[in-house]
Structure 1
Amino acid sequence: MNKQNQIKRTLSLSSNIEYIKQLLEGKGGVAHRSDLAKQVCTHFEFHDARGEMQTSGCLKALRDLESSGHFELPRVQHKTGTKSPRRLTDSVPHPVDVPDEVRHIAALELVLVQEADQMRTWNELMLTEHYLKAAILVGRQMRYLIRSEHGWLGGIGYAAPALQLSARDQWIGWNQEEHQAQLHMIVGMSRFLIRPSVNCKNLASKVLGMSMATIAKDFNRQYGYSPLLIESFVDTEHYSGTCYKASNWLAIGKTKGRGRQDRHNDSTLSQKTIYMYPLDTSFRKQLGLSANAGLGALTISEGLDAAQWAEHEFGGAPLGDKRLSKRLVNVAHAKAQNPGSAFSGTVEGDWPATKAYYRMIDQPEGSAVNLENILQPHRERTARRMMGQKTVLCLQDGSELNYTNLDKCSGLGELKANQTGAKTKGLTLHSSFAIAPNGLPLGVLKAQCIAPHPRLPDDKRKPSKIPIEEKKTFVWIEHHRDLVELAATMPQTQLINVCDREADFFELFDEQRKNPCVELLIRAQHDRNINESPFKLFAAIRETRVQSRVSVNVPQQSARPKKSKQKAKAARPGRRAELALRHLAIQLPAPSYYHDKEPVEIQLIHALEENPPQGTKAVEWFLLTTIKIESAKDIEKCLRWYTLRWRIEDWHRVLKSGCKIDDLAHETAERLRRAIGINLVIAWRIMLMTLLGRETPELPAEILFSDVELRTLHAYAKKKIKTPFVTR
């Protein structure tokens, strides 16, 4: 049953409407709506996969045609009394001696509800113990009880999916016609109950996994076809949805607070998180859609063409006005042509275009035109590029943006003092930047432009007494939590949070321990005390045996002269460094002010350049990671992943040298953030285009350049060839 009968489309034909009118005028002996539906189903052969009449679908189509004025149906005959589910005379006995862990539950199984006593038990559980206090399902239905030797542990109910669900339909990528024809390939998990008296770790995720393994077969036996997708909703006011995440369900968006009976868009219900579970990973193909339909995976270079990239990366940004969203696309497209110039120079003095840019940037404080909303479409495209990878390195780092010269700019923070002690004003850019394991940048996941402020003089608290939420380091935890949420949407992709030494603090490792779906790979900063000789962490790993040797590139470093606000930096030539690798599994102790926290199990990797060139400082890294280390190859893999952390610094260099974000001039920090947000994406594309040209020189030029740009480059190349070579 690939496509549902198009009942309404068939009945809408003028000849068929005439046939229905004849039935209503008495020629078919129609007394009730149900009689009419049966005759229509028989005449037009409206049957489902089991051969049964589709009377419900037919009645709905007839009501729609009546509301359009084609005919008048017989009046509805209301039955007296209220329909109520069949129930038990007594409550369901509570299970006894349920163990704390699911692996110790005896004879755990799902029981398909088929008998009357089972139906009464299921209804009783839902009516008395489910928070919705309802047991009525609609459409094609399946019910299960969760049974064990300890007693009934809960139940599950499946029914028809939501008729309209914009986030789901956008994620699938089908149009209205495809939606109407194939909505039946989705089944809704309408009820899921683990009884409140049962407290068993991982029981909910275990039961979800068992249910996903059997629902397609059971549904096929009962209804004659296998569904492709299961949908469910989590009311986050009551539940966190952890069991869905642990069972590889995908969180794809939120509902709008409407139910099946909300005909007037009142949206009186609470918004719920939508979770989807593909029973078939090729469900889009089974639905007749392209593999990249909806919000599926993208290749790295897909959608980067010069004409359309800005629409892909900025289109539909939720700026509160569609005109502003369209303007954002135009601004980004123009700015990318000449990223190092002010916008007026980019558009060559076009006053209307310049005025439109500043009207967008100068929106009032608190408007929807903010950094997060500007980046939202790009973040969604980045997530789709990540879905096409088995592993994604999520580089997290900060960079200072100095705006001391903007005397009239309000909302700036206080940056670190330079070597002369002079204080500078500006913003701290903290970003999560996703790259593939081959180093190609996938995009910007999250960015914050923070205005740092020093502690108040009267704040005399010791650092250990200050909550982590009030510390500057909390931004690393915020970005890690964001990655955890993102990981729930792509369970087939491994996310690794790669950070420099600033992220070496216990609270971040403790945060990862709570939800280990995103790994950590962090360069160690602190040489911690340990309980055994030599009593220092770094000395301990230096004494272990070498497990492998690798060669890595050490990039060149240009000399930087001393400036009033910067220290001088000596030049460093690029080289290949031969590193010896060591590994040690350790227990990372909690700080003394966390008396109630256990140590964190973690892996320590040591990489040392044993024979550096004369006059050159040896490369030595200590890396802390939650990634499982079982062999020398795992150590090498972690090291090579960490060497790619410099990609985010390359991106910062493109931002500052190529896009000149330090030269932006606006009257408020919020306006600066808006302009920076546009440049973040432009810098990503510049970097990707450069690296694509190096990594895949066979890539067609049309992917990255417009026809005009290609003709210009071709003419320039011909001119260079004709220029005679002159020796001196």
Structure 2
Amino acid sequence: MQAMLCTRSVCLRRMAQGDWAAYMAYWRFVNNPQVTTDRLIEGWSRQTATVVGGRHVLAIQDTSEVKFQTRQGCRRGLGKVGKGNARGVLLHAMIAVDADSGACLGLTGGKVWTRRGKVKTPHDERELANKESARWVTTAEQGCEVLAAARMITVINDREGEFFAHWALTPGDNVHLLTRAMHDHALADGGTLYQAVERVRFCDKAVIDLPQRMDRHGRQAHLSLRFGTVVLKRPARPGVKELPEGVKVSFVEVVELHPPKGAEPVHWLLLTTHSIANAADAWRIVSWYKQRWIIEQLFRSLKNQGLRIEDSQLESAEALIKLVTIATKAACIVIQLVQARNGGEQLSVKCAFTPEEIEALAAINKTMKGRTELQKNPHRPHTLQWAAWIIAKLGGWTGYASHRPPGPITFHNGMARFQIIVAARAIENV
């Protein structure tokens, strides 16, 4: 992971930087059958669990396709992903975010896999455990274990994770579920979800900021809101008979009735187990769902805007799966640094750095003190903001607040220099 951050690459030769022994060590590690993906994923959350105590945590999960170039007769053991004949690995990750400050607290769990051919049994006839969709439930279970010290947990999915078994199995005493609706569920009292929503009048309006994504520019949206409560009826299909007959949920619908010319209008129908008593509660649900963009940033940092994971030339699917797993943790650290550049919540530096690295940060910081206050690290020592300022400076940032803030590439470059310094400090008598 340190080598990835150092070189901003997942190419083993580039990470080894001409050291043949290091290259072979990397290669043996990712190809060793005793190194399992499950154990690597366990390592994602060790630091996360230490910083969630007493918080309301948004446990945001999503799936991303990591596509690798293949050719006929040399598929590297990779299954199909997406449309067409693309081959690659599927990454499902859950990231913990503080509900009040929006601070990224780290990863909590997930799954990395590749498909092994077509499944002959029809989807509706399979038990949940035998479906890919089970990852939404099992990852939520992983997250709840890691976040046990949190005051409250809200699991957030996109539309793909919206199905009845998830509603029935995931919520608990201090665990809630929030997701965009994907299905027009049948309701316990007759009718359907969409029909019940249409019967409710819009009751409030607000303007919200939409963050920039790969498929759109950032902009403001003028939204109309309505909310209510329904009871979802258990579907009549195999594998769900042991689940409750109904699950009570609140709905919040926000619609952009007059979008800018050429822009796709915002239309979110959100379902949640949180109670909603008034419009303020409903807007709070919308604000929590907006935090989903953080996991999209994680995937971007993993791919074209950071580690360029899809450029890897490893020859086996198992090795690529392990490489993706390690790279996901590295990408999460960069996201935490990018967030910390603007100040915000004072997270401990321990949530992203080891004790040895923290010592190195303190030593480097002493060498960066300029003659004026504007040239000094303005953040409290041993916070993530303090570390982000140091890493950004190493990456070429001027340090002046009036200049363009550092982005993911600057932090990757800074981590490159930083890891070289850490490695040098570890050598005896240096």
Where 1:477 maps in the other structure, the secondary structure is helix
Match of 1:357 among 26, 30, 51: 26
What does residue 551 of structure 1 align with? Answer: 207
Where 2:206 maps in the other structure, the secondary structure is strand
What does residue 425 of structure 2 align with? Answer: none
- 1:493, CA displacement in angstroms? 2.1
Map 1:529-678 → 2, pairs under 5 A: 529-530=186-187, 535-557=191-213, 572-593=216-237, 594=240, 597-657=244-304, 658-678=306-326
Deviations 1:522-576 (A, max 9, x none): 100112345879x442243233133432322223345xxxxxxxxxxxx643211
Alpha carbons 2:164, 2:234 under 8 Å: kept: yes
Letter in 2 for 1:440: A
Alpha carbons 1:483, 1:518 under 8 Å: kept: no
RMSD over aligned Cα, in angstroms?
Answer: 2.8
What does residue 439 of structure 1 align with? Answer: 102
Letter in 2 for 1:573: H
Instruction: Could you tell me which runs of 5 or more consecutive residues in structure 1 were left unpaired when the two chains were aligned.
Output: 1-331, 559-570, 721-728
Q: TM-score, normalised by structure 1?
A: 0.46
Where 2:179 maps in the other structure, the secondary structure is strand
Where 2:249 maps in the other structure, the secondary structure is strand
Distance (Å, rounded) in 1 between the aligned partners of 2:2 and 2:308: 17
CA pair 358-706 structure 1, distance change in 2 beyond 3 A: farther
CA pair 375-530 structure 1, distance change in 2 beyond 3 A: closer
CA pair 357-532 structure 1, distance change in 2 beyond 3 A: closer
Alpha carbons 2:62, 2:295 under 8 Å: kept: yes
Number of residue pairs the alignment of both structures matches: 359
Distance (Å, rounded) in 1 between the aligned partners of 2:151 and 2:303: 31
Where 1:405 maps in the other structure, the secondary structure is coil
What does residue 520 of structure 1 align with? Answer: 177
What does residue 163 of structure 2 align with? Answer: 505
What does residue 494 of structure 1 align with? Answer: 152
CA pair 412-546 structure 1, distance change in 2 beyond 3 A: same
CA pair 678-484 structure 1, distance change in 2 beyond 3 A: closer
Greater C-alpha Rg = 1
CA pair 610-343 structure 1, distance change in 2 beyond 3 A: same
- 1:519, CA displacement in angstroms? 0.7
- 1:432, CA displacement in angstroms? 1.0
Distance (Å, rounded) in 2 between the aligned partners of 1:455 and 1:711: 49
Indicate whether 1:479 and 2:139 are aligned. Answer: yes
- 1:408, CA displacement in angstroms? 4.2
CA pair 608-373 structure 1, distance change in 2 beyond 3 A: same
What does residue 364 of structure 2 align with? Answer: none
- 1:587, CA displacement in angstroms? 0.6
Where 2:156 maps in the other structure, the secondary structure is strand
- 1:659, CA displacement in angstroms? 0.7
Alpha carbons 1:413, 1:450 under 8 Å: kept: no
- 1:669, CA displacement in angstroms? 1.9
Higher relative contact order (CA 8 A, sep 6+): 2
Map 1:245-264 → 2, pairs under 5 A: none
Distance (Å, rounded) in 2 between the aligned partners of 1:376 and 1:382: 11
What does residue 399 of structure 1 align with? Answer: 64
Where 1:445 maps in the other structure, the secondary structure is strand
Deviations 1:107-153 (A, max 9, x none): xxxxxxxxxxxxxxxxxxxxxxxxxxxxxxxxxxxxxxxxxxxxxxx
Alpha carbons 1:431, 1:444 under 8 Å: kept: yes
Match of 1:689 among 325, 329, 337: 337
Where 2:313 maps in the other structure, the secondary structure is coil
Indicate whether 1:680 and 2:328 are aligned. Answer: yes
Alpha carbons 2:186, 2:232 under 8 Å: kept: no
Deviations 1:21-80 (A, max 9, x none): xxxxxxxxxxxxxxxxxxxxxxxxxxxxxxxxxxxxxxxxxxxxxxxxxxxxxxxxxxxx
Letter in 2 for 1:392: V
Alpha carbons 1:602, 1:626 under 8 Å: kept: yes
Letter in 1 for 2:218: G
- 1:404, CA displacement in angstroms? 4.2
Alpha carbons 2:56, 2:151 under 8 Å: kept: yes
- 1:615, CA displacement in angstroms? 3.2
Alpha carbons 1:693, 1:699 under 8 Å: kept: no
Letter in 2 for 1:556: Q
Where 1:615 maps in the other structure, the secondary structure is coil
Alpha carbons 2:179, 2:271 under 8 Å: kept: yes
Alpha carbons 1:409, 1:666 under 8 Å: kept: no
Alpha carbons 1:370, 1:673 under 8 Å: kept: no
Where 1:449 maps in the other structure, the secondary structure is strand
Distance (Å, rounded) in 2 between the aligned partners of 1:653 and 1:573: 15
Distance (Å, rounded) in 2 between the aligned partners of 1:712 and 1:666: 29
Indicate whether 1:413 and 2:71 are aligned. Answer: no
Alpha carbons 1:608, 1:621 under 8 Å: kept: yes
- 1:626, CA displacement in angstroms? 0.6
Percent identity of equivalent pairs: 25
- 1:498, CA displacement in angstroms? 0.2
Distance (Å, rounded) in 2 between the aligned partners of 1:714 and 1:622: 41
Distance (Å, rounded) in 2 between the aligned partners of 1:705 and 1:479: 33
Distance (Å, rounded) in 1 between the aligned partners of 2:181 and 2:143: 21
CA pair 542-405 structure 1, distance change in 2 beyond 3 A: same
Alpha carbons 2:187, 2:232 under 8 Å: kept: no
Q: TM-score, normalised by structure 2?
A: 0.75
- 1:409, CA displacement in angstroms? 5.6
CA pair 590-610 structure 1, distance change in 2 beyond 3 A: same
Distance (Å, rounded) in 1 between the aligned partners of 2:143 and 2:334: 24
Alpha carbons 2:89, 2:321 under 8 Å: kept: no
Letter in 2 for 1:362: N
Indicate whether 1:448 and 2:95 are aligned. Answer: no
Instruction: Could you tell me which runs of 5 or more consecutive residues in structure 2 were left unpaired when the two chains were aligned.
Output: 345-376, 404-430
What does residue 352 of structure 2 align with? Answer: none
- 1:630, CA displacement in angstroms? 2.2
CA pair 716-598 structure 1, distance change in 2 beyond 3 A: closer
Letter in 1 for 2:139: H
CA pair 379-531 structure 1, distance change in 2 beyond 3 A: closer
Where 1:526 maps in the other structure, the secondary structure is coil
Distance (Å, rounded) in 1 between the aligned partners of 2:302 and 2:49: 22
Distance (Å, rounded) in 2 between the aligned partners of 1:429 and 1:615: 32
Alpha carbons 1:542, 1:606 under 8 Å: kept: no
Distance (Å, rounded) in 2 between the aligned partners of 1:521 and 1:715: 41
- 1:716, CA displacement in angstroms? 10
CA pair 659-519 structure 1, distance change in 2 beyond 3 A: same
